Amino acid sequence: MFGKLIIGSLFILPLMVTPVNAGNALHLEKAIFAGGCFWCMVPPFEKLDGVSEVISGYTGGHKVNPTYEEVSSGTTGHMEAVEVTYDPARVSYEKLLDVFWRQINPTDAGGQFVDRGSSYKSAIFYNNQEQKKLAE
């Protein structure tokens, strides 16, 4: 079973997502990263060749479909995050991690840069053991 690993103030957490298959020729995978304001996390990933979609949202909490106000209040346990859909034949998970590490300060437990509060914590949500291994 997947577990949770805490490195300083960076969390590496399990996320059970099935890889997306669009026909037999293309195998897409997903990566989920929380790193402060999700709007700031979108552009660095969208620029990568091999990334087909970057969606911002909330993850890691205990309430289904929380509102922005609920997440911002710090009561739902959610973090702002991005879901990156990518073609591993064109861009590696290692490259995605490299981009992620350049966007965050993993030693800041209070948020990221000017974004303060629990919803702005950094985390990597892994989908399989390989992603977990590389994130660690």
Domain ranges of the chain: 5-135
What pLDDT shows up at residue 36? 80
Contacts from 38-42 at CB under 8 Å and sequence distance 24+?
38/80, 38/81, 38/82, 40/103, 40/115, 41/80, 41/81, 41/82, 41/103, 42/82
Which residues are known to be catalytic?
A: 37
Report the pLDDT averaged over residues 71-81: 87
Distance between CA 82 and CA 47 in Å, rounded? 14
**Percent of the chain at pLDDT exceeding 70:** 75
Please write the tens of the pLDDT for every residue from 61-71. Answer: 898 888 889 98
Give the confidence band of 52 by pLDDT, cuts at 50, 70, 90. Answer: very high
Least confident of 18-22, 56-60, 80-84: 18-22
Segment 117-136 mean pLDDT: 87
The topology under which CATH files domain 5-135 is Peptide Methionine Sulfoxide Reductase; Chain A (3.30.1060)
| Model pLDDT, residue 18 | 43
Tell me what the mean pLDDT of segment 84-112 comes to. 88
